[in-house]
Structure 1
Amino acid sequence: MEDYKLGTKVSVVTMILNIILAIFKLIAGIFGKSSAMIADAVHTVSDVFTTIVVIIGLKISSKGEDKEHPYGHERLEAVCAKIISVALLLVGFMIGYKSAVRLYTGNITTPGKIALWAAAVSIIFKEGMYWYTIITARKIRSIAMEGDAWHHRSDALSSVGTFLGILGARYGYTFMDPLAGIIVSILIIKVGVDLYIRAVKELIDSSADKETLDKINNSVISIDGVKAIKNLKTRIFGNKIYVDIEICVDERLSVREGHDIAELVHCSVENEINTVKHCMVHIEPFTG
């Protein structure tokens, strides 16, 4: 619940900033006669949409287990991340298409100075919002929120392209405005594809990373009575991990003694590795 509150707080702050920034960029684009800046404003509006998706995802995924969902709702975060990745892809293709059309037709005007200043302000704000969001996303292990952070950075990159394009256009190189838009669109599409792949991996029971597996192994093998680890399986479930482990104990132990060792393993893994939601322990006889 604390993760949900922290994530929601960050998301609400960035959403308010995005609304203000989008209005500012739209006005600057209209008065500065810069279609690149107007497209940049639309990109910022899409950030508002993805942040709303993140808030909904955090709310649902923070719910506990129920009758229909005995393993919880964490995996819905990956679903939200897929929605965000699709939004990034659509924005990337839209910016790239419009920029390519303008470059091909030569329908390019020289933007005003206000559009240049708006792009500079956008770069600073959006990069700041990226770091503000990504730090919290990594802290609470939220892939949806991390996707939202990259959406902020993609907007910052878009603004960098817009800035260079407007600057070049004001110096007579009018083709730079749409060309920068095409380059930025490619970067945005790449981020969208990468995020989509990560979200899919979380939905198909991917294993935890090697560092986490090593921590589990070291934690279990150090417990008195555990002779060996026969099998260890992990699966990522949203921002949590499920662990299934088979340990070998002396075959001469009683059921109660074997159970006590298994309980120690269960508690050790869940307490020492805070990303583990549940650890299932199975006992096998060790024959030496």
Structure 2
Amino acid sequence: MEEKYNNLKIAERGARISILAYIVLSALKLGIGYLSSSKGLTADGLNNTTDIVSSLAVLIGLKISRKPADDDHLYGHFRAETMASLIASLIMIVVGLDVLYNAANSIIFFKAQVPDLRAAIVGIVCAVAIYFVYRYNKKIAIQINSSGLMAAAKDNLSDAWVGIGTAVGIIASQFGLPWVDPLAAVLVGILIVKTGWDILREATLNLTDGFDKKQLDNIIECINEVPRVKKVKDVRARINGNNVFLDIIVVVSADLSVVEGHNITEEIEGKLRSELDITEAVVHVEPEIKSDQNGVE
């Protein structure tokens, strides 16, 4: 369990990097956007200010998750990380809908604008920078199985796409194609909303104790490989932050002693820990009851 808490601390580092990156990028975009008269870059800068709030939510969620179990939270505070993912996804959806609204407004009340090319250069540089932040956060999130940091990483990627879309629109306006800007904004807005929706769906699934059936089948298969396990009678699984909690009932021979049954539970826990990285499992053994000739147990 100590490793899980250390992983959360590593995830906090990624969230801090995102916050720092967004502070720098939003200041740069707002400044250059104002000087170059680029509404697209200015809007992108304002978008990044909301990303600071989103990343702060993830960071706070990760910090709360590291709190040890207490009288009110016997399973720990790990679900605070999932709550942070939920908040981040809602912010992403709102930002995506705002991008779509502004794009639709630009199409309906279209006015050709030719902003300074410097705005496009800044947009590309910022998109590349936040893309590298995305790669870093995604790598760490996969390594430590952090849903909160993965949500932050997906937010980073969506912002990279926003930056590219902004740059494409500005560059196209230089060649007499100003309509490309709102079109790019529509595509980027749809992408942001979809990314936010995917994170929201996963977070709500975890918070309502949903569990992936394929992963559950892998757990059952792993348990069945333990010697002297006759069958897996029941497995209930739920996600708690970056942890999987299991309640397992297995059937064993009625001839086994209590000590032997206990040893089997430890074998199951050890196998789940080593092969599937599951550290929290409550295993209950039941004796195999054979039917007599009349079919009565």
Partner of 1:95: 99
- Give structure 1 stretches of 5+ with no counterpart: none
Partner of 1:25: 29
- What CA deviation, in whole Å up to 9, does each residue of 1:223-242 have, x standing for no partner? 33323222222222221111
Matches of residues 173-188 of structure 1 in structure 2 within 5 Å? 173-188=177-192
Partner of 1:157: 161
- Report if aligned partners of 2:69, 2:77 keep a CA contact under 8 Å in 1: yes
CA distance in structure 2 between the aligned counterparts of 1:209 and 1:25, rounded to whole angstroms: 44
Q: CA deviation at 1:219?
A: 4.1
CA distance in structure 1 between the aligned counterparts of 2:227 and 2:6, rounded to whole angstroms: 35
Partner of 2:8: 4
- Report if aligned partners of 2:17, 2:133 keep a CA contact under 8 Å in 1: no
Matched, 1:79 2:83: yes
CA distance in structure 2 between the aligned counterparts of 1:135 and 1:191, rounded to whole angstroms: 18
CA distance in structure 1 between the aligned counterparts of 2:105 and 2:221, rounded to whole angstroms: 58
CA distance in structure 1 between the aligned counterparts of 2:154 and 2:33, rounded to whole angstroms: 24
Letter in 1 for 2:228: G
- What CA deviation, in whole Å up to 9, does each residue of 1:128-151 have, x standing for no partner? 111111111111212121111111
Partner of 2:295: none
CA distance in structure 1 between the aligned counterparts of 2:10 and 2:274, rounded to whole angstroms: 22
Letter in 1 for 2:60: I
| Number of residue pairs the alignment of both structures matches | 286
Q: Which moved more, 1:202-211 or 1:159-168?
A: 202-211
Please tell me the root mean square deviation across aligned C-alpha atoms, in Å: 1.8
- What CA deviation, in whole Å up to 9, does each residue of 1:113-168 have, x standing for no partner? 11011111022112111111111111121212111111111111111111111111
Residues 1:189 and 1:227: Cα distance change in structure 2 (over 3 Å): same
Letter in 2 for 1:233: R
Matched, 1:246 2:249: yes
CA distance in structure 2 between the aligned counterparts of 1:273 and 1:44, rounded to whole angstroms: 37
Matched, 1:225 2:228: yes
Q: CA deviation at 1:192?
A: 1.0
Give the one of 273, 282, 285 matched to 1:280.
282
Give the one of 251, 266, 269 matched to 2:269.
266
State the TM-score, normalized to the length of structure 1. Answer: 0.92
CA distance in structure 1 between the aligned counterparts of 2:69 and 2:275, rounded to whole angstroms: 22
Q: Which moved more, 1:278-287 or 1:262-271?
A: 262-271
Runs of at least 4 residues of structure 1 off by over 4 A? Answer: none
Partner of 2:144: 140
CA distance in structure 1 between the aligned counterparts of 2:197 and 2:74, rounded to whole angstroms: 31
- Report if aligned partners of 1:95, 1:181 keep a CA contact under 8 Å in 2: yes
- Report if aligned partners of 2:205, 2:211 keep a CA contact under 8 Å in 1: no
Percentage of pairs with the same residue: 30
CA distance in structure 2 between the aligned counterparts of 1:254 and 1:54, rounded to whole angstroms: 49
Letter in 1 for 2:286: E
CA distance in structure 1 between the aligned counterparts of 2:216 and 2:120, rounded to whole angstroms: 47
Partner of 2:59: 55
State the TM-score, normalized to the length of structure 2. Answer: 0.90
CA distance in structure 2 between the aligned counterparts of 1:77 and 1:105, rounded to whole angstroms: 42
Letter in 2 for 1:235: R
CA distance in structure 2 between the aligned counterparts of 1:182 and 1:217, rounded to whole angstroms: 45
- Give structure 2 stretches of 5+ with no counterpart: 291-297
CA distance in structure 2 between the aligned counterparts of 1:46 and 1:155, rounded to whole angstroms: 11
Partner of 1:191: 195
- What CA deviation, in whole Å up to 9, does each residue of 1:184-225 have, x standing for no partner? 1111111111111111001111225535642x3454334333
